[in-house]
Structure 1
Amino acid sequence: MAETGASPHGAPSPVARAEHFVWLTARVLEQRRFAYHFLSGSGSAGGDPSGDAVETALAAYGTEDGGYGYALEPDLRGPVSQPLHVGHALRVLDSIRRCGGQRVERVCRYLTSVSTSDGALPAIHPSQRGYPSAPFMPVVDDPPSALLATGPVVGLLHRNEVWHAWLFRATDFCWAAVDSLEKSHPYEIQAAVAFLDGAPDRPRAEAAADRLGRIVREQRLVTLDPERLDAYPVAPGYAPGGHHFAHDYAKAPESLARAWFTDEEMARSLDFLEREQQEDGGWPVLPHGSTHEGTPTRQWAPGSALEARPIVTIEALRTLRAHGRPLT
């Protein structure tokens, strides 16, 4: 391997261990993303300081309607575009500072075409019917608007100063959804944070985030002491082991969610995230929610689990680095 950094005790560094895991298991897109984020400044083989290789790999998932498909989000298989695929693509583009231009214009046209009557996005568009998808992602004929799908997309577009007609009603939907949240669950809160972190109205976003932080703590939607997992409930409908931690909400210090946690709580969370790196160098996939029949689902298909772990691994490393944890 090109990267052979070691810890003070002589063991391979977290990045070196993850590099081996990525070359062994990852799709081309995640290999290119890893090279961009962790090899580009080291002179290692495969480094991609420009992001061109990442964008080329991402383009392979593009569809004729301007969206993204082909299992970009591993739990949704098949060639059709889906809002969750688009959200994934925008996160990739944002991470390489290319979330703009004609590519995003095409994405916004796709988003307009699949929006619900109130201008927002469904979690799963009915076009998924007939293709494999995770049992905890049911396909319905007339899906409702979902903050889970809409919030991250709207937040990223605002963060990158994209202006498109689609954003007006979608932004209004997100504000209404966030303001009405009273009882929630971790993934919905994460989607709300993704929206608020990019929302242009910063005073309103800060006030909304402060209220959500109180909800997270009062409803015990965060595990504040990873050493005492049994003391914290898993959210209703989530699979056993589906705990969420401070770092799941505050993925970077500049996130509004960072103010929800003390320095000690954040440190414990990041310590736990560091320890979660497995022997093979990758991070585990968080257990997903239950099926509509109540049966816990973890790894519903071999391919999706294999493809998801490098994605989770890259995001774990990016979170640790954003919070100043040494990786090499």
Structure 2
Amino acid sequence: MPGDEASPQHPQPAQTPADPPAAPTPLARAEQFVWLTARVLEQRRFAFHFLGGDADPVDTALGSYLNGDGGYGHALDPDLRGPLSQPLHTAHALRVLDSLGRCGGQRVERICRHLTGVSTAEGALPVVFPSPHAYPAAPYHPVHDDPPGELLTTGPVVGVLHRNRVWHAWLFRATDFCWDRIENLRHSHPYEIQSAVAFLDGVPDRARAAAAADRLGRLVREQRLVVLDPRRRDAYPPAPGYGPDEQLFPYDVARRPESLARGWFTDEELARSLDFLASEQQPDGGWPVRRRDWAPGSALERRPIATLEALLTLRAYGRLPSQVSRPGPAPRP
């Protein structure tokens, strides 16, 4: 009968239970964390690297940290607060520009002029410059009246400039400084090793870099500067002045497979460290920061940076898809 939907002539279609929603992927969970917690710069960087976003918004966000002297400030590196240009900020800015493929041109020429003016007598960069105002800074970056040049700051800056084939007079003495420090290292600490690798991965003399990296890798293993087995972290005590859990792992020094530091570790050691890195994603989708927590704002801003670094490293080793996958529209009945 018309309207009798239960009649044999008009049977109801069979009801099938809806499939449960798929669990969010690690990349999707990280995206949620970034939108909830990150500065505009890290949000733009995530969109560029994982959502197919354009480089211009990243560039614009980075520009808000640029000072009139050609350096960068305003807590671009969250451990140094205040507006003044500092080498750690400029090193951070150059890494961002490098990731965009925009580390060149007049902007970088201006950065190099700034670096020339703030270098020590030996042509290197200190970690922190003294300022006329007591702007807050992490206690592990003490301020000295006459700060010495450090490989910790100079190495990453010189390495990224060389990798982008930047030529400037400042680079000659700064490069010599890095070579001298690296080839004469007898004792070191993990972050200095990280900076040495950043230099060696970018410097043009590849044969010399490979020889220096080989010696450095032996030093790292002899002095237990990198945790080779995350299950035995207590066998690798943190360096003096580091926080209780402030340890580096193979992926921290060999950020990409093509790094010279990749040869320091067996396939098993690297795989263990990458498994550990993947497992470190927290319930909120972000990665932890292992350095000492000294200020709420710094800790909050540091975690999205650490999350981006973790994602880029995992992707470089084939542990993540290149972009966040969006669910398609539901099929029509």
CA distance in 2, matches of 1:249, 1:87: 17
Give, in angstroms, the shift of residue 56 of structure 1.
0.4
Within 5 Å, which residues of 2 pair with 1:1-328?
Answer: 10-40=22-52, 47-48=53-54, 51-127=55-131, 129-287=133-291, 298-327=292-321
Give, in angstroms, the shift of residue 227 of structure 1.
1.4
CA 1:16–1:111: 2 relative to 1, 3 Å = same
CA distance in 2, matches of 1:108, 1:231: 42
Matching residue of 2:10: none
> What is the letter of the counterpart of residue 127 of structure 2?
A
Q: Is the contact between residue 140 and residue 241 of structure 2 (CA under 8 Å) also seen in structure 1?
A: no
Partner deviation per Cα, 1:62-82 (whole Å, 9 max, x = no partner) = 000000000000010111000
Matching residue of 1:294: none
Q: Aligned to 2:319, what secondary structure does the other structure show?
A: coil
Moved more, 61-70 or 122-131: 122-131
Partner deviation per Cα, 1:212-255 (whole Å, 9 max, x = no partner) = 00000000111111112122222222111111100011000000
Matching residue of 1:44: none
> What is the letter of the counterpart of residue 131 of structure 1?
Y
Give, in angstroms, the shift of residue 136 of structure 1.
1.1
Q: Which runs of no fewer than 5 residues in structure 2 stay unpaired?
A: 1-20, 325-333
CA distance in 2, matches of 1:174, 1:162: 17
Partner deviation per Cα, 1:79-99 (whole Å, 9 max, x = no partner) = 100000000000000001000
Q: Aligned to 2:29, what secondary structure does the other structure show?
A: helix
Give the number of equivalent residue pairs: 302
How well do the aligned residues superpose, as a CA RMSD in angstroms?
1.1
Give, in angstroms, the shift of residue 324 of structure 1.
1.0
CA distance in 1, matches of 2:36, 2:62: 20
CA distance in 2, matches of 1:326, 1:123: 34
Q: Is the contact between residue 116 and residue 144 of structure 1 (CA under 8 Å) also seen in structure 2?
A: yes
> What is the letter of the counterpart of residue 189 of structure 1?
I
CA distance in 1, matches of 2:144, 2:320: 45
Matching residue of 1:292: none
> What is the letter of the counterpart of residue 214 of structure 2?
D
Q: Aligned to 1:126, what secondary structure does the other structure show?
A: coil
Matching residue of 1:291: none
> What is the letter of the counterpart of residue 295 of structure 2?
A
Moved more, 64-73 or 232-241: 232-241
CA 1:161–1:128: 2 relative to 1, 3 Å = farther
Give, in angstroms, the shift of residue 303 of structure 1.
0.6
> Once the two structures are aligned, what percentage of the paired residues are identical?
72
CA distance in 2, matches of 1:139, 1:281: 35
Q: Is the contact between residue 27 and residue 320 of structure 2 (CA under 8 Å) also seen in structure 1?
A: no
> What is the letter of the counterpart of residue 17 of structure 1?
R
Q: Aligned to 1:257, what secondary structure does the other structure show?
A: helix
Give, in angstroms, the shift of residue 10 of structure 1.
3.5
Q: Is the contact between residue 243 and residue 290 of structure 2 (CA under 8 Å) also seen in structure 1?
A: no
Q: Which runs of no fewer than 5 residues in structure 1 stay unpaired?
A: 1-8, 41-46, 288-297
Q: Aligned to 2:165, what secondary structure does the other structure show?
A: coil
